[in-house]
């Protein structure tokens, strides 16, 4: 997983080819019916401030995934079909994850980072930027959670992690080529702003399906293994993360077709998640 020193991030979002879709997306802001996420074991409900806790409905579609102009792992450009699904408008917040912990459905987010090659110095330095015990960051994206912790939260909420095919389509509606300069999270430029760390969710205007922060803020765990597009059934244990983060100085890594591998046991300050759920046709 690519990352940089936390204080060096100038975030510039650039759209790249999600080329071609068989049907137009609904208008911005089209949402699924908002059902309150509930603990599967205790009945404790999660808070829903602002757009957090709400979902957008993504219609069934066939689109061309990847980018011939991108990195090698974004090739080949290929056609995929996604069934209709719902996806969270925002990344899961510290407050939402805390509700799951309080209900007994999740373990607390880590207070130290863990990634291959990390040293005790890394753990001390970056661990100070884990959001979980910071009361002023309750509306920020939860970070310092590994893949299993993200998966457990989504299951507790009656949802699941999105596949990377679902994630990419939800991010760009199958048309990243023409998204440059449009709504935030798809092709907008975040000015010359330098973000020293995560920001509260839904700070930037949403993309074509009404989703916030699909580029920047935190990388997002997906359900998918990091397999080549032309060999989709592989035994690589790493999971795909999508969307780039506040820590990226490399604009290549915040394009919507960019994909990066992460060990499922990683807990880092620049990775969080959002949830999805399957819907009937």
In this prediction, what percent of the chain has a pLDDT beyond 90?
Answer: 54
Domain count, the chain: 1
Q: Please, what is the Cα angle at 82 between 80 and 88, to 5 degrees?
A: 130
pLDDT band at 237 (very low <50, low <70, confident <90, very high): very high
Neighbours of 42 (CB within 10 A): 12
Interval 123-143 mean pLDDT: 90
Q: Please, what is the Cα angle at 230 between 176 and 167, to 5 degrees?
A: 35
Nearest to 243 by CA among 185, 179, 204: 185
**Domain boundaries, position 111:** 1-281
CATH assignment at residue 40: 3.90.1580.10
The verdict on pTM exceeding 0.85 is: no
CA 75, CA 89: separation in Å to the nearest integer? 28
CA 153, CA 92: separation in Å to the nearest integer? 9
- Among the residues of the chain, which ranges form H helices? 94-103, 120-127, 147-156, 164-172
191 backbone φψ class: left, alpha, beta (φ>0; ψ -120 to 50): left
Question: What is the token pair recorded at 6?
Answer: 């936390």
């Amino acid at each position: 997983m690519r990352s940089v020193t936390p204080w060096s991030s100038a975030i510039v979002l650039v759209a790249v080819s999600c080329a071609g879709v068989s049907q137009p997306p609904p208008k911005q802001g089209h949402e699924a019916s908002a059902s309150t996420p509930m603990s599967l074991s205790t009945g404790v409900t999660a808070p829903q401030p602002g757009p957090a806790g709400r979902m957008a409905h993504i219609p069934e579609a066939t689109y061309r995934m990847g980018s011939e102009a991108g990195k090698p792992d974004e090739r080949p450009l290929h056609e995929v079909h996604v069934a209709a699904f719902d996806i969270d408008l925002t990344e899961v917040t510290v407050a939402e994850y805390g509700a799951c912990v309080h209900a007994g459905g999740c373990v607390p987010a880590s207070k130290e980072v863990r990634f291959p090659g990390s040293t005790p110095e890394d753990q001390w330095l970056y661990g100070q930027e884990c959001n979980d015990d910071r009361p002023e960051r309750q509306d920020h994206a939860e970070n310092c959670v590994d893949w299993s912790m993200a998966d457990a939260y989504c299951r507790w909420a009656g949802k699941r992690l999105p596949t990377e095919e679902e994630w990419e389509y939800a991010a760009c509606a199958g048309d990243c080529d023409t998204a440059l300069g449009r709504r935030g999270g798809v092709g907008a430029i975040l000015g010359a702003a330098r973000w020293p760390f995560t920001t509260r969710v839904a700070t930037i205007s949403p993309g074509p399906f009404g989703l916030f922060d699909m580029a920047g803020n935190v990388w997002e765990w997906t359900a998918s293994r990091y397999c080549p597009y032309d060999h989709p059934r592989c035994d690589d244990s790493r999971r795909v993360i999508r969307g780039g983060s506040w820590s990226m100085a490399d604009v290549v890594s915040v394009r919507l077709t960019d994909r990066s591998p992460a060990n499922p046991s990683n807990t880092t300050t620049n990775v969080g998640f959002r949830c999805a759920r399957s819907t009937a046709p």
